Amino acid sequence: MTLADKIVVALALALLPFLYIEFWGNSSQGEVVLIRSASNEDITLSLDQNKQLEIKGALGTSFIEIKDRQVRFVDSPCQGKQCIITGWLNKDGQLAACLPNGVTVQIIGRDQRFDAVNF
């Protein structure tokens, strides 16, 4: 490894914490939740409307709740209940999954096609 290579590597490493904090550290509040399941089409919902959903999966029905700009699994027909243990999601990118039932819930950012959404 030459000196310049070392400098490059050192600089890259030095840059890393800055990049991390700048781009991932300050995750903004999500606005849209994406619910995927094997048997249904993807569902995209806004987090600003409280809602209870029943999503049919491979084993049975997963119950999902949207409340106060958060979303969670309330119940799911799986063994480990990892999805329920995950609890409330409210940040961009957060994910909860009931893999046995094939249902995932993920918070995604705003719809980038629009500058604002009217409802």
Partner 1 sequence: MRQTVNVGCALRIIRAGGKRKANGAQCAPYIEFRAVTFFVVVFLALSGCEQRPLVYQQQVLALGTLVDISIYGVDEQQAAKAVTAVGNKMEAIHHDWHAWQPSRLTYINEQLAIGNSVSLNPEQQQVIQTGIELARQSNDLFNPAAGKLIALWGFHSDERPDTAPPAESDINALVTAAAKMSELTLDGNQLSSTNPEVMIDVGGYAKGYAVDQGIDTLRRMGINNAIINAGGDLRAIGNKGERPWRIGIRHPRQAGVIASLETHADESVFTSGDYERYFEYGGQRFHHIIDPRSGRPAQGTSSVTIIHKDASSADAAATAMFIAGPDQWRETARAMAVEEVMLIDTAGTIYMTEAMSQRLHIEIDEQIKTIIVP
Q: Does 112 bind partner 1 (CB under 8 A)?
A: yes
**The pair of three-digit structure tokens given for residue 82, joined into one six-digit string:** 């990892």
User: Which CB, 85 or 115, lies closer to partner 1?
Assistant: 115
21 binds partner 1 (CB under 8 A): no
Tell me how crowded residue 107 is: count the other CB atoms within 10 A of its CB: 23
Asked if 118 interacts with partner 1 (CB under 8 A), we say yes
Residue 92's contacts (CB-CB under 8 Å, 6 or more residues apart) are 27, 28, 29, 30, 107, 108, 109
Looking at residue 28, the DSSP 8-state letter turns out to be P
**Are 68 and 62 in contact, with CB atoms under 8 Å apart?**
no
| From 28, 39, 40, 52, residue interacting with partner 1 (rule: CB under 8 A) | 28
Among 13, 21, 23, 63, binds partner 1 (CB under 8 A): 23
When asked if residue 8 is in the footprint of partner 1 (CB under 8 A), the reply is yes
Among 17, 30, 49, 66, binds partner 1 (CB under 8 A): 49
